[in-house]
Amino acid sequence: MASDHTRSAILAAAERLYADRGFGDVTLRDIVAEANVNLAAVNYHFGSKDELIAELFVTRSLATNRERLNELKAAEEAGGGRASIEAIMHALVGPTLRGCLGPDREGSTAARFMIRASIESVPPIRRIKNREVDHLRKFVAAMRRSLPGRDDAELYWGLHFALAMSHHTIREKERLTKLSEGQCDLNDVHAIVERVVAVSVMALTGGEPARKAPARSMAPPYGRLTRQDI
Amino acid sequence: MASDHTRSAILAAAERLYADRGFGDVTLRDIVAEANVNLAAVNYHFGSKDELIAELFVTRSLATNRERLNELKAAEEAGGGRASIEAIMHALVGPTLRGCLGPDREGSTAARFMIRASIESVPPIRRIKNREVDHLRKFVAAMRRSLPGRDDAELYWGLHFALAMSHHTIREKERLTKLSEGQCDLNDVHAIVERVVAVSVMALTGGEPARKAPARSMAPPYGRLTRQDI
DNA sequence: GATAGTTTCATACACACGTTTGAAATGCAA
DNA sequence: TTGCATTTCAAACGTGTGTATGAAACTATC
């Protein structure tokens, strides 16, 4: 294996191109040209185009999910096993929103890639997203601890709406900017997170406002992926 | 032109197939086989595959938007030029949710097609959706009349979140059902509409609950489309 | 420095796709 | 019927695609 140079070059080039032009418009030939490697290298290193896309998405997804769970764990420990519903919602939507809208450290190709993945929904990515349910159950469990009296269905709806608002904001940020003629500030990620959390909490509790929480971000460089799930 | 038989058969077959298998998996050859017409007929009648898809989507979109504006107008007239914010949100999300989730009259292929269009986001459909901004401005205007003191940005965010919740519910209804193990009832469209409206209103006003409104639906049979916009 | 394993490379394969073509069929008016 | 426009049809076109192949280059171990 030696240096992994080819492999990493393919991953980086693919992410860059997909981020810029979308999945539909990028061919393997585009990718290998951008990466300065041979066409056959993709199938040699990844097996197929779909597996390449899957690996890109899984890597980024894992990072986000890890962040989510870290925040959740931290919030629960700080609260002696029971986090506030605000903190839980924060852990749920914060990493995704910051990862896609935030000023992320090493250039925003990872962010733009995830936005694309959120918009275009190509088969290999859809397959991975469908496994996200287990991940979300951990949040439902935390919510149940935080709001013990609540009907479970209410918790699911609250979670669902929180994801709705964060994903839709990511997906349609251009449209919202255009519609509002710039009056909605899509650059202040912190404010957006607070806003989404506030509405989510209202949806769950039926009133009273929200409060604060910390900040982090996504996008590691690519290394070899130790095969695991989302 | 005679009977339009071929044209309509293509539209019906295409909508059925796209609804069932998605845009990515259906070729022109599949469509003409299903419609029992010749391959060249598609290009003869529609010019290209993309124009066929666009026509399908525009037809259904127009119906929904018409319904939205009708409800909005009715609400504003009933209120003497100023509708309640509940009624406005209702007019915004009701037709879409009923159109995609409701038990619609003539079989649900139109509904399933619109769900697909909401999930897959193929280029000709994206192009059409981008023109929807003008349509939404009418709702912003109504909201401004209904909540005169509010900052415009707040109105845009409220509208944005309302669309987020309704679209995400349509797009992810399967996942929500799975996640909640059936505890979230995705069949009771009326209840869903009320729920989305309630949260939207809370997002806009910061508290107090919502109230009721009427019901209608989409999905006309296909006739020739008098060329117009969304 | 020969050998075995890994990686790269140019090239070709196979084929599914949207579109085009030009002729045949059909419909319609005079 | 004749003539003209519309519509249908079978067939092919051309190209862009992911993938497969088999030889060459490289690397590391003994």
User: Residue A37, by phi and psi: left (phi above 0), alpha (psi -120 to 50) or beta?
Assistant: beta
Length B33 CA → D3 C1' (Å): 34
The CA distance from A170 to A100, in Å, is 7
Q: How confident is the model at residue A208 (pLDDT cuts 50, 70, 90)?
A: very low
HSE-CB for B201 with a 13 A CA cutoff: 22
Selection from A28, A225, A24, A43 nearest residue A117 by Cα: A24
Q: How confident is the model at residue B227 (pLDDT cuts 50, 70, 90)?
A: very low
Query: A208 in helix, strand or coil?
Result: coil
Which nucleotides of chain D are near protein (any atom < 7 Å from a CB)?
Answer: 6-12, 16-22, 27-28
Comparing alpha-carbon positions, the chain A residue that sits nearest to B192 is A157
pLDDT tens column, A82-130: 999 999 999 999 999 999 998 765 448 999 999 999 998 899 999 999 9
Phi, psi of A218 (to 5 degrees): -110, -160
Selection from B150, B205, B85, B207 nearest residue A202 by Cα: B207
Choice between A182 and B220, residue whose per-residue pLDDT is larger: A182
Say whether A165 and B164 touch across the interface (CB within 8 A). yes
Measured CB to CB, residues of chain B less than 8 Å from chain A are: 24, 119-121, 123, 130, 133, 136-137, 140, 152-153, 156-157, 159-161, 163-165, 167-169, 172, 175-176, 178-180, 183-185, 195, 199, 202-203, 206-207, 209
Identify the residue whose Cα has the smallest distance to the C1' of D9.
Answer: B38
Q: How confident is the model at residue A3 (pLDDT cuts 50, 70, 90)?
A: low
Which residues in chain A have their CB less than 8 angstroms from residue B120's CB?
A: 121
Do residues A210 and A197 touch, judged by C-beta distance below 8 A?
yes
Q: How confident is the model at residue B222 (pLDDT cuts 50, 70, 90)?
A: low
Say whether B164 and A160 touch across the interface (CB within 8 A). no
Q: How confident is the model at residue B106 (pLDDT cuts 50, 70, 90)?
A: very low
pLDDT at A52: 98
pLDDT at A150: 92
Say which CATH topology domain B62-205 has: Tetracycline Repressor; domain 2 (1.10.357)
pLDDT at A102: 82
- Residue A130 is classified by DSSP as G
Selection from A61, A13, A48, A59 nearest residue A33 by Cα: A13
Choice between A218 and B74, residue whose per-residue pLDDT is larger: B74
pLDDT at A40: 96
pLDDT at B214: 36
pLDDT at A96: 95
- What is the pLDDT averaged over residues B166-186? 96
Q: Is any atom of nucleic acid chain D found less than 7 Å from the CB of residue B5?
A: yes
Say whether A176 and B156 touch across the interface (CB within 8 A). yes
Q: What CATH number belongs to A65-205?
A: 1.10.357.10
Say which CATH topology domain A1-47 has: Arc Repressor Mutant, subunit A (1.10.10)
Do residues B222 and B13 touch, judged by C-beta distance below 8 A?
no
| DSSP letters spanning chain B | -TT-HHHHHHHHHHHHHHHHH-STT--HHHHHHHHT--THHHHHHHSSHHHHHHHHHHHHHHHHHHHHHHHHHHHHHHTTS---HHHHHHHHHHHHHHHHHS--TT-SHHHHHHHHHHHH--HHHHHHHGGGHHHHHHHHHHHHHHSTTS-HHHHHHHHHHHHHHHHHHHHTHHHHHHHTTT-S-SS-HHHHHHHHHHHHHHHHHSS------------PPP--------
Share the mean pLDDT of chain B. Answer: 88
Q: Is any atom of nucleic acid chain D found less than 7 Å from the CB of residue B42?
A: no
Q: How confident is the model at residue A228 (pLDDT cuts 50, 70, 90)?
A: very low
**Domain ranges for chain B:** 1-47, 62-205
Which residues in chain B have their CB less than 8 angstroms from residue A120's CB?
A: 121
Q: Which two tokens stand for residue A78?
A: 């700080």
pLDDT tens column, A121-158: 899 999 999 999 999 999 999 999 999 999 999 999 99
Percentage of chain B exceeding pLDDT 90: 82
Q: How confident is the model at residue B103 (pLDDT cuts 50, 70, 90)?
A: confident
pLDDT at A105: 55
The CA distance from B28 to B42, in Å, is 8
pLDDT at A206: 83
The CA distance from B132 to A175, in Å, is 9
pLDDT tens column, A43-90: 999 999 999 999 999 999 999 999 999 999 999 999 999 999 999 999
Selection from B194, B58, B85, B72 nearest residue B136 by Cα: B72
- What is the pLDDT averaged over residues B126-154? 95
Closest partner CB to B180 (pick from A156, A168, A207): A156
Say whether B153 and A184 touch across the interface (CB within 8 A). yes
The CA distance from A103 to A221, in Å, is 16
Percentage of chain A exceeding pLDDT 70: 87
pLDDT at A210: 34
Q: Is any atom of nucleic acid chain D found less than 7 Å from the CB of residue A75?
A: no
Q: What does the longest C-alpha to C-alpha distance in chain A come to?
A: 60
